[in-house]
Structure 1
Amino acid sequence: MFQQLSDYSAYLAVRLVVGLVQALPLKVVDDASAPLARLMWRVLRIRKKVVQQNLQIAFPQASSEEHEQIALGMWRHLFLMIAEIAHASRKVHRTNWREQSSIPDMPTLVRQMLSGRPTVIISGHLGNFELGGYLLGLHGFPTHTIARKLDNPYLDRWVTEFRGKTGQHMLPKNDSSRQIAHLLESGGTLVLLGDQYAGDTACWVDFFGKPASTHKAVAVFTLSGQAPTAISAVLRKGGPLHFEMCLADLVDPMVDDFQKGTIPALTQWYTDGLEQLVRKAPEQYWWVHRRWKGTPTDRRERRRKRRAKPAA
């Protein structure tokens, strides 16, 4: 009973904060995001050491002042991202999406998603990744993505309802292999985050020049489902709720000259693509999460380097 009351209280608190954000004009949130970013970085110093370590790995040649500007931009981006999610359902519709977003490679994406074959879209903790599936659903392309259920059942139901409003369906992180297989067999679209730490026994590939543990399942879905796979991100261009859906690359496992037919090669390919997108807008990446935890064993490291040479 106490846990239920605690969960519901937390849910009400979150709904209250979101309601307040929705009541504020986005211009006000935009103006407030810079001082809030300075508060998080210089005063509260939340995960400051982790961010500094990550930026030193990714941009070793940059100065401490440049690192600080990226960090401040990241915190500002996170505040704007929350506000954009809160406002999206009210302000981004099928009648006005051109005013809010652009998709330079739309013909390529639309051609693929109308082909009847399965599609895998790989993104990362970059830009407003929550609105990627929302925007695709807005264009009439439903997607499925894998996510762990929130511990708070009230928040979990509310977040799931938001994501599903335009056709972004959630699959459980565990025991969803049959659903994913059926989705790919039926020509559906699977959207995945490809930059999550996956433990010591995962596939180790280079990300900004340093080995990073990466889930094997992302590449398995592409190869087992023979699914054309794209690397994409929704980057903010200009003010809040103005986006560009960027496509770094797209490959098809069924073409004759496909050269990424192994899990390490395909994983390195999409990790390179994500790095390319991060370099376009480093201030819109989640440097707060520890992407480079752990190190591969000596045997795995030798194997990783051996496999990386042909791919390079």
Structure 2
Amino acid sequence: MAKNPKQTLPLGKRAVLFATNAVVYGLIRLALMLPYAVRVRWVGTFFSSVLGPVAGFRSRAMQHIAHIYPDMSQGERKSLASACLNNFGRTLIENYSTKDMLSRMHDHEITGPGFHALKEARDADRPVILVTGHFGNYEATRAALVSQGFAIGGLYRDMSNPYFNAHYVKTMEAFGGPVFPQGRKGTAGFVRHLKAGGQLVLLFDQHVFHAPVMDFLGAPARTATSAADLALRFDAALIPFYGIRQDDGLGFETTLEAPIPHSDALTMTQAMNDSISARIRTNPEQWFWVPRRWRPDQI
């Protein structure tokens, strides 16, 4: 039997992670007592002005921004990093506001040629892999699709803080559709869902050790070909999608791009990178610049 990840950590590390989760989850519970619009704005501001700088998130984001935009001034990088953290905070509390989000996205307009392709695949019992990144709020589009009768599942990577991960997974499950953890057991369930003609979400914009190096925002970055491999293996439609935050900070444009043509895994994955890179260049403040997309040897 696999050990609980909490039990494999040193006592001191467990104490730090437990305390961190207690603070963050306490703030989430406090925020959930506020009216929806107030809580979203408040958590966004808290992340950008307090938690982000104190936790080192803003400095890390600025490092990544400098890697991609070397000619950007320090002040501009700081401003972009703060806007990114604001979106990060808003996304976090939105995803804990399951009932509110599902209500707001009910019968929400879904645009783009990929939506028609998704409906055609569903009617033909053909599996679909919906791919996106940590941009805008990816769960907004899943909520919109669920409200229109789609059972959109997902494959997720466990967070490094197991205490936080335990309740965050529940928020993903609450949006509808099965969710599967990365690993042998989760992948098996993921594959069964695909074989049955299901629709699943994959976030692909994270560093994966030993993955091929590809172009991402004009810089080399390791990118897993998993989504393309699965699409080819199960003849699944591969459709990029985005939940793009609007100027009011609360609404979203939910769009599905045209399916990526089947060819080979590297070509298809590069097309995925190109898709999200175009979105980031248009709205750089909506991408999560904090995770280590590039490792030190690449910066």
Q: Where on the TM-score scale, by shorter chain, does this alignment land: which range? A: 0.7 to 0.9
CA spacing shift, 1:211–1:153, aligned 2, 3 Å: closer
Q: Which runs of 5+ in 1 are unaligned?
A: 254-260, 297-312
Offset of 1:278 from its aligned partner? 1.5
1:157/1:50 Cα in 2 relative to 1: closer, same or farther (>3 Å)?
Answer: closer
Call closer, same or farther: CA 1:113–1:28 in 2, change over 3 Å: same
Provide the rounded CA distance (Å) in 1 between the counterparts of 2:200 and 2:40: 32
Matches within 5 A, 1:1-312: 16-29=26-39, 31-32=41-42, 33-34=44-45, 37-40=48-51, 44=54, 46-90=56-100, 92-93=102-103, 97-98=106-107, 101-105=108-112, 106-149=115-158, 156=165, 158-175=167-184, 176-199=186-209, 201-253=210-262, 261-293=263-295
After superposition, the Cα gap between the structure-2 partners of 1:218 and 1:35, relative to the gap in structure 1 and judged at 3 Å, is closer
Change over 3 Å in CA distance of 1:110–1:55 after alignment to 2: same
Q: Distance in 2 between matches of 1:191 and 1:218?
A: 9
Residue by residue over 1:50-103, the C-alpha shift from the partner in whole angstroms, topping out at 9 and shown as x without a partner, is 222211232334333332221111111122112222323135328x625xx432
SS across alignment from 1:164: helix
Q: Which amino acid aligns with 2:127?
A: P
- Highest CA radius of gyration, 1 or 2? 1
User: Which blocks of at least 5 consecutive residues in structure 2 are unaligned?
Assistant: 1-5, 8-13
Task: Evaluate the alpha carbon distance shift between residue 25 and residue 81 of structure 1 in structure 2; reply closer, same or farther with a 3 A threshold.
Answer: same
Conserved 8 A contact 1:88-1:241:
no
Q: Secondary structure at the match of 1:168?
A: coil
Give TM-score, length-normalised by structure 2: 0.80
Does the aligned pair in 1 maintain the 2:245–2:251 contact within 8 Å? Answer: yes
CA contact (8 A) 1:84 1:241 kept: no
Are the counterparts in 2 of residues 249 and 273 from structure 1 also a CA contact under 8 Å? Answer: no
Contact kept? 2:146, 2:176, Cα under 8 Å: yes
% same residue: 24
Mapped to 2, the partners of 1:158 and 1:40 lie a distance apart of: 20
Aligned residues: 282
Deviations along 1:276-312, whole A, 9 cap, x unmatched? 121232111111112122669xxxxxxxxxxxxxxxx
TM superposition score normalised by structure 1: 0.77
Residue identity matched to 1:137: V
For residue 299 of structure 1, what is the aligned residue in structure 2?
A: none
* Cα pair 1:148 1:173 within 8 Å, conserved: yes
Are the aligned partners of 1:142 and 1:166 in contact in 2 as well (CA < 8 Å)?
no
| Contact 1:120-1:192 within 8 A present in 2 as well | yes
After superposition, the CA RMSD in angstroms is 3.1
Secondary structure class of the residue paired with 2:258 = strand
Q: Is the 8 A contact 2:94 2:101 kept in 1?
A: no
Aligned equivalents of 2:173 and 2:260: distance in 1?
28
Question: Residues 77 and 220 from structure 1, CA distance in 2 versus in 1: closer, same or farther, beyond 3 angstroms?
Answer: same
For 1:226 and 1:178, locate their aligned partners in 2 and report how far apart those are by CA, in whole Å.
Answer: 17
SS class of match (1:287) = coil
Equivalents in 1 of 2:45, 2:160: separation in Å? 31
